[in-house]
Amino acid sequence: MSGHHTDIAINGDSAVALAWKQIDPDVCAAYPITPQTIIVEKFAEYVADGEVSTEFVCVESEHSALTLCTTSASAGARTFTATASQGLAYMWEMLPIASSMRVPVIMAVANRAVSGPININNDHGDVMSARDCGWITLFAENVQQAYDMSIIAPRIAEHHEVQLPCLVNLDGFILTHATERMAPLDDAVVKKFVGEHKPLHPLLDVAHPVSHNLLDGPLYYFPHKYQTVLAMDKALEVAKEVFCEFEAVSGRRYEAVEEYRCDDAEAIAIVLGSSFGTMREAVDRLRHEGYKVGVAMPRLYRPWPIADLARTMRGKKTVVVMDRHLSVGSYGPMFPEIVAAAMENGSVPAMYNYIYGLGGADTMVSDFKKALADSIEGRAKRVNYLGVVQ
Amino acid sequence: MTATSLKELSRSPDRLASGHRLCAGCPESIIARQVLMGTEDDVVVSCSTGCFEVSTTIFPYTSWNVPYIHTAFGNGAATCAGVESAYQSLKRQGKIEGEIKFVNFAGDGGTYDIGLQALSGAMERGHKMVFVCLNNEAYMNTGIQRSSATGRGASTTTSWAGKESPGKKEFPKDMTQIMTAHGIPYVAQVAPHAWKDLVSKSAKAFECGGPAYINAIAPCPRGWRFPSDQTINISRLAAETCVWPLYEVVNGTDYALSAESLRIAEGKAEKKPVSEWIKSQGRFKHLSDPRWAGVAESIQSEVDRKWKTLLRLCGL
C-alpha cells in the first residue's frame, strides 16, 4: 500500500471536492443545489486560493452547467460538475446528448428526492431518471467510497474505447453531510493514477476541424446509438481493470457487485448506496438468529453487471430487492433488472421487492431485518412499501 | 482588424462551404459568411438547434470547414461558452497556443425565447464570444410558428390571420435593447443587404474583448411570403422603413447609428412608410382589409416611437 497518509474526518461532499482538487480538472461548471452545494462551495474555495488551475464557471442553471461541461469536454478539457434532484431533472435534455457526443464528463449526484412534493432528503429518484441516458453510473456506500469513486470515474470514462460520461452517486445528507473517517491518497498518487487527459478529436484542434453532434436520419441514428451500447459494454471490462489498479495504489478493493456474507447465504438482499451498511448490520443480526442471509450492492448501475449479479444470485432461494425509488404503476426500477439478471442462471429464486426510504424516510436496521425475514418466511408481498401503512 | 473591401473579402477563406440545404433565397448563409469575414483568427462555430443547424450538418455531411459544435435548442450561448471556457483554461495552462474566436448562431427562438436564459447568463459572465441571432421573426424550422420576435400583424401557423384575428397581436420583444442592458462591450443590429456594415460590426464584435451580441434581420421567403429573389431588397426595406434600424451600442451606453440609418435621421434619405414593408410580404396580406386598418397604423406608430427613442439615445 502506497500513497496512504493520515486519516481525516470529512463529509461526503467535501470528500468529492477534495478528490477533484487533487485531480485538478481544466473546467468545472456548476449550479448550487442542496445537498450537493458543499461540493461546489468547497471547490470554489480551492479556486479562490489558487490551489487548482480550473476554469470555474458559475452558470445560471443546471441546463447550462451540463451544456458547458459537455462542450468543454468536446473541446478537449477534463471537466466535472455536480448536482442533485431538480438539478438533474433540469439537465435531463443534455444527459443523452452528452453520452451520444461521447464526452467523458464526470458528475457527482448527491441523491435527493425529486419534487413533488418538494423534499430535500435522500432517495434515488433523481438518478433513476438518468438510467437510460447512456451514463456510466457508480454508487458509493460511504464517504471513503464517494472519494474513491470520484478518482476512479475519469479513468473509466476517458478510456478511449469507452468515452462516456459518468455519474458518481452519494446519498444526500446521509453521506454528503455526514462526517466520517477517511483515508485520502497523496496528491501525487491521485495525479499519477488519473493521468494526463488525452481527448479524442478535440474541437480546439483547429488544424483538424471536426463537426460535433450532427443531424442523423433514420439510417444513422440507430447505428450511432448502438456504438454507445458497445462502449458501455466495454466500460464494464475497463471498470474492473481500473478497480484492480486502484487497489494497487490504495489498498481498497472494489467489485462490480459488492457482496457481504453471500457465499453460503440462502437469501440475499440487493441494495444501492449507503443502505448497504445498514443491511450488513441487519444481516449480522439475522445470522445471529440463525438465518443464512447476505447482502449485495451493484457498484455499477450502468453498465449493469448482469453476469456478476447472476453469479451472486446463483443457487439462492430468496432475493429481496430494495428500491429507493418508485416507478408508479410498476415494480421498483431495480427489481425487474435484478429478475432479468437472475434469469441468466436458468432458474429464478423467489423474488420480492421493497420500496423504502423515499424522501428521506428513516429506515432502521430493524426494518431491513423484518423485510428479509418476512421474505424468507413467505409473509412478504411481491411489492412492499416499507414503513407505509397500507 | 479585418478587410472590408470587396476585393479583399473575396479572398477570405470559405469557412461555410456551399452545398448546404438552406432554402433558396435564405439569407442565413449570407449573414454567417459576412460574420465570419469579421475575423482572420481561427474560429470555432456553434449553433443552436434550428434551420441553420439542420441545414448545414446533415450526417454524413458537414458544410463547416472550421470546428463546429451543436448540442440543443435553448442553450446555444452555453454551448459556445463551454468551448470558450475550455479554451481559456487550456490556454492559461499552456496546453494550447494561438488565438481562437468563438461564435454562436441561433434563430430568434434560440435567442428571444427558449435561448434567453442561457444567453443572458453567458453575457453576464463575460465569455469572449459573439452571439449572432439570425432573426427571421418566427419558428421557421418547425413551420412558421410565432415567436416573441414576430412582428404585430404577421400571420403565422400559431397566430393565424382569421375572421376574428389580424395575426399576431403583440409587438416584438426588443432583444437588442435587452442585450444592451447587459452592459456588454458590444451590441449591434445588422441586416445582410448592408454587407460592409455587417462585416465591420462583426470585426468589432470579435475584437471587443468580451461578449458581443449581433442581431441580424433574416428575411425568410417561406415564412414571410415573398419571392426568393427579393431577400436582399426586403432586408433593405427593413432598414429604410426603420422597422429594423442599423446601429451599435458600445459598453451598454454609447449608441451610434450606422451610415444608412444615420442618413435617414439626418433627413438625407427618405424614411419610407411602414405600409411599403407590409405590402412587400404575404404574411401581412390580410392587413389590407379595411377591418385591420388600425393594425397597420399601430405598427407605424410603434416604429415611429421606437425610432424617436433610438435617436434620443444616439444624441440626435
Domain residues of chain B, as ranges?
6-313
pLDDT digits (tens, 9 = 90+) for A121-164: 999 999 999 999 999 999 999 999 999 999 999 999 999 999 99
The domains located in chain A, with CATH, are 8-250 (3.40.50.970), 257-385 (3.40.50.920)
State the pLDDT at residue A3: 47
Chain A residue with minimal CA distance to B77? A64
Percent of chain A with pLDDT over 90: 98
pLDDT value at A1 more than 60: no
pLDDT value at A105 more than 70: yes
Burial (CB < 10 A; 0-12, 13-18, 19+), residue A50, is exposed
Q: Does domain B6-313 have CATH number 3.40.50.970?
A: yes
State the pLDDT at residue A5: 65
Note the residue count of chain B.
316
Range list of β-strands (E), chain B: 42-47, 68-70, 100-107, 130-135, 186-190, 212-217, 247-250, 254-257
pLDDT value at B193 more than 60: yes
Residues of B with CB below 8 A from A59's CB?
Answer: 78, 121, 125
Determine whether the interchain pair B68/A212 forms a contact, defined as Cβ–Cβ distance below 8 Å. Answer: yes
Determine whether the interchain pair A77/B89 forms a contact, defined as Cβ–Cβ distance below 8 Å. Answer: yes
pLDDT digits (tens, 9 = 90+) for B12-32: 889 999 999 999 999 999 999
State the pLDDT at residue B309: 98
Residues of A with CB below 8 A from B118's CB?
Answer: 60-61, 63-64, 67
pLDDT digits (tens, 9 = 90+) for B268-283: 999 999 999 999 999 9
> Residue A390 — very low, low, confident or very high, per pLDDT cuts 50/70/90?
confident
Determine whether the interchain pair B100/A204 forms a contact, defined as Cβ–Cβ distance below 8 Å. Answer: yes
Identify whether B219 is preceded by a cis peptide bond (ω within 30 of 0).
Answer: no
Q: Please, what's the b/e burial string for A265-285 (b: 16 or more CB within 10 A of its CB; e: otherwise)?
A: bebbbbbbbbbbbbbbebbeb
> Residue A47 — very low, low, confident or very high, per pLDDT cuts 50/70/90?
very high
C-alpha atoms less than 13 angstroms from C-alpha of B34 in its C-beta half-sphere: 24
pLDDT digits (tens, 9 = 90+) for A181-211: 999 999 999 999 999 999 999 999 999 999 9
Identify whether A116 is preceded by a cis peptide bond (ω within 30 of 0).
Answer: yes
Q: What is the mean pLDDT of chain A?
A: 97
Determine whether the interchain pair A55/B100 forms a contact, defined as Cβ–Cβ distance below 8 Å. Answer: no
Determine whether the interchain pair A71/B69 forms a contact, defined as Cβ–Cβ distance below 8 Å. Answer: yes
Determine whether the interchain pair A213/B90 forms a contact, defined as Cβ–Cβ distance below 8 Å. Answer: no
Which cell goes with B226? 415573398
State the pLDDT at residue B133: 98
Tell me which of A2-16, B100-114, B222-236 is least confident: A2-16
pLDDT value at B1 more than 80: no
Q: Residue A157 and residue A238: Cα distance in Å, rounded? A: 9
Q: What is the mean pLDDT of chain B?
A: 97
Name the residue among B68, B85, B98 with its Cβ closest to that of A68.
B85
pLDDT digits (tens, 9 = 90+) for B93-117: 999 999 999 999 999 999 999 999 9
Q: Residue B149 and residue B134: Cα distance in Å, rounded? A: 11
Question: Taking the CB of residue A351, how many other CB atoms lie within 10 A of it?
Answer: 21
Chain B residue with minimal CA distance to A75? B83
- As a whole number, mean pLDDT of residues B204-209 equals 98
Q: How, if at all, do strands A350-355 and A383-385 pair?
A: parallel
State the pLDDT at residue A387: 87
Q: How far is A333 from chain B (nearest CA, A)?
A: 28
pLDDT digits (tens, 9 = 90+) for A258-307: 999 999 999 999 999 999 999 999 999 999 999 999 999 999 999 999 99
pTM listed for this prediction: 0.97
Which cell goes with A322? 430494495
Interface of A with B (CB under 8 A): 26-27, 29, 53-55, 57-61, 63-64, 67-77, 79, 93-94, 97, 101, 203-206, 209-217, 220
Residues of A with CB below 8 A from B68's CB?
Answer: 209-212
> Residue B2 — very low, low, confident or very high, per pLDDT cuts 50/70/90?
low
CB A108 within 8 A of CB A16: yes
Q: Residue B189 and residue B249: Cα distance in Å, rounded? A: 9
Contacts of A226 (CB under 8 A, 6+ apart): none
